[in-house]
């Protein structure tokens, strides 16, 4: 993997909802009010500089706003004449003014391949519930645009991001499989998203972890904020001393165990960035295959820099993606206001992983 992809791996929220508006107006950092201009930028190469960009150097602004290219790469692009500001060729150190039209004659980008074998669990006039595979980004970000769940769903219905027929309610990491819900109208999306914001939506995740907990159930109540020691800029950690940290609470239950690993069910009571992954690691049971919060974050650093893992490192990682699955989601339906539950059985690759780890999965399908 190249550095261009770094912002798409581990950068989405496992549990954090959007504000319940359209993807263009939602308040999350990846599918925010800037999402519309992201879509136009990627497809048309045209972008109006927002208010917050005023006063920044052009190269710095571009590298922070569109991090699929480094600052050095943006400088090279500016010097090559492929980028214009209000019709003129700028310098890399030009000071950006709000409202300026930035145009980029982008060279074609080859998107990474993904697993597009998702399954529709339920669809009506108000919402769509999907069982997402473990290698599919939810929405455009970084090098992923066409190869995302949102884009594929829209294409299948003859729709586009500029006029979507449904909207993002909440998100999952690219590597996290399982239940994901979209709203089909503004009203339905807002109704659903407010349940995530108010912690009324009940979520259950299945995860395969290193180790065997001594207790059948345990709880992790630990505030999450910027990781105090990580080399990874976006890494989250248990950080009670940071003013940016927020309360986070997760309950875990042991579903099955093997010789050295376990299948846990997680019940997040709050919805923080990477909450389940960090809390599992904090409890001493890192998720199998998690490059960022697993046994060694150097795996993630190697991954984003395009360096191959050694055979020994791959054996330690055990799986090509984090073994985290959104198994169950209960919320109120936008039309009836009655509770509905959507379930997704453990993804096939994780069923195979469990067998490799010597874990006998529960016979009850709702448990696995």
Residue 284: predicted pLDDT: 96
Tokens of 163: 């006029």
SS3 184: coil
What are the structural domains of the chain? Answer: 3-20+112-356 (3.30.2350.10), 46-104 (3.10.290.10)
Nearest CA among 64, 44, 50, 146 for reference residue 105: 44
Residue 121: predicted pLDDT: 98
Write the DSSP symbol of residue 209.
E
Task: Specify whether the CB–CB gap between 324 and 175 falls below 8 A.
Answer: yes
Distance (Å, whole) CA 42 – CA 147: 13
From start to end of 234-358, where are the E strands?
236-238, 249-257, 261-268, 324-332, 339-343
Any idea which residue has 């219905």 for tokens? 157
Distance (Å, whole) CA 134 – CA 327: 13
Distance (Å, whole) CA 294 – CA 96: 40
Half-sphere exposure at residue 342, Cβ-oriented, CA atoms within 13 angstroms: 23
Write the DSSP symbol of residue 176.
-
Residue 108: predicted pLDDT: 65
Torsion over CA: 221, 223, 224, 227 (sign): negative
Residue 367: predicted pLDDT: 52
Tokens of 66: 């569109």
Distance (Å, whole) CA 284 – CA 308: 27
Torsion angle of the four alpha carbons 32, 33, 39, 42, in this order, in degrees rounded to the nearest 10: -80
Torsion over CA: 67, 73, 75, 80 (sign): negative
Torsion over CA: 143, 149, 154, 156 (sign): positive
Each of the 368 residues of the chain gets a pLDDT tens digit; together they read 333 333 333 333 444 443 333 322 222 222 223 334 454 555 557 788 999 999 999 999 998 888 767 889 899 999 999 899 999 999 999 999 999 999 987 666 678 899 999 999 999 999 999 999 999 999 887 778 889 999 899 989 888 776 778 889 999 999 999 999 999 999 999 999 999 999 999 999 999 999 999 999 999 999 999 988 877 778 899 999 899 999 999 999 999 999 999 999 999 999 999 999 999 999 999 999 999 898 878 777 777 666 777 888 788 888 999 999 999 999 999 999 999 999 999 999 999 999 999 999 987 655 55
Strands 177-183, 324-332: pairing kind: parallel
Task: Specify whether the CB–CB gap between 271 and 196 falls below 8 A.
Answer: yes
Distance (Å, whole) CA 19 – CA 32: 9
Nearest CA among 74, 152, 170 for reference residue 113: 152
Residue 189: predicted pLDDT: 94
Distance (Å, whole) CA 306 – CA 11: 17
CA distances from 199 to 84, 193, 217, 258 (A): 45, 10, 21, 33
Residues assigned a catalytic role:
173
Task: Specify whether the CB–CB gap between 58 and 96 falls below 8 A.
Answer: yes
Nearest CA among 114, 137, 366 for reference residue 253: 366
Distance (Å, whole) CA 149 – CA 153: 6
């Amino acid at each position: 993997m190249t550095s261009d992809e770094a912002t798409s791996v581990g950068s989405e929220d496992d549990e954090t909802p959007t504000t319940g508006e359209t993807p263009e107006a939602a308040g999350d950092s990846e599918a925010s009010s800037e999402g519309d201009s992201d879509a136009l930028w990627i497809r048309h190469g045209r972008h109006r500089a927002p208010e917050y960009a005023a006063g920044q150097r052009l190269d710095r602004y571009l590298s922070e706003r569109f991090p699929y290219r480094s600052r050095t790469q943006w400088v090279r692009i500016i010097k090559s004449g492929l980028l214009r500001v209000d019709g003129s060729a700028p310098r890399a150190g030009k000071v950006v003014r709000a409202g300026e039209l930035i145009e980029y004659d982008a060279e074609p980008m080859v998107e990474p391949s993904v697993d597009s074998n998702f399954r529709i669990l339920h669809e009506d006039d108000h919402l769509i519930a999907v069982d997402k595979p473990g290698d599919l980004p939810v929405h455009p970000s970084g090098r992923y645009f066409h190869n995302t769940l949102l884009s594929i769903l829209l294409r299948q219905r003859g729709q586009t991001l500029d006029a979507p027929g449904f909207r993002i309610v909440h998100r999952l990491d690219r590597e996290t499989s399982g239940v994901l819900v979209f709203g089909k109208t503004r009203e339905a999306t807002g109704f659903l998203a407010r349940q995530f914001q108010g912690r009324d939506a009940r979520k259950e995740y299945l995860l395969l972890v290193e180790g065997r907990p001594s207790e059948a159930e345990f709880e992790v109540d630990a505030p999450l904020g910027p990781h105090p020691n990580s080399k990874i800029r976006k890494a989250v950690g248990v950080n009670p001393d940071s003013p940016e940290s927020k309360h986070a609470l997760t309950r875990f239950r042991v579903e099955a165990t093997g010789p050295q690993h376990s299948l846990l069910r997680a019940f997040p009571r709050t919805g923080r960035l990477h909450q389940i992954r960090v809390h599992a690691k904090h409890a001493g049971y890192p998720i199998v295959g998690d490059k960022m919060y697993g046994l060694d974050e150097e795996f993630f650093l190697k991954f984003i820099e395009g360096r191959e893992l050694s055979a020994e490192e791959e054996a330690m990682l055990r799986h090509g993606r984090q073994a985290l699955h959104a198994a169950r989601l209960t919320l109120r339906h936008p039309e009836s206001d009655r509770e509905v539950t959507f379930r997704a059985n453990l993804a096939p690759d994780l069923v195979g992983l469990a067998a490799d780890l010597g874990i006998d999965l529960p016979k009850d399908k709702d448990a696995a």
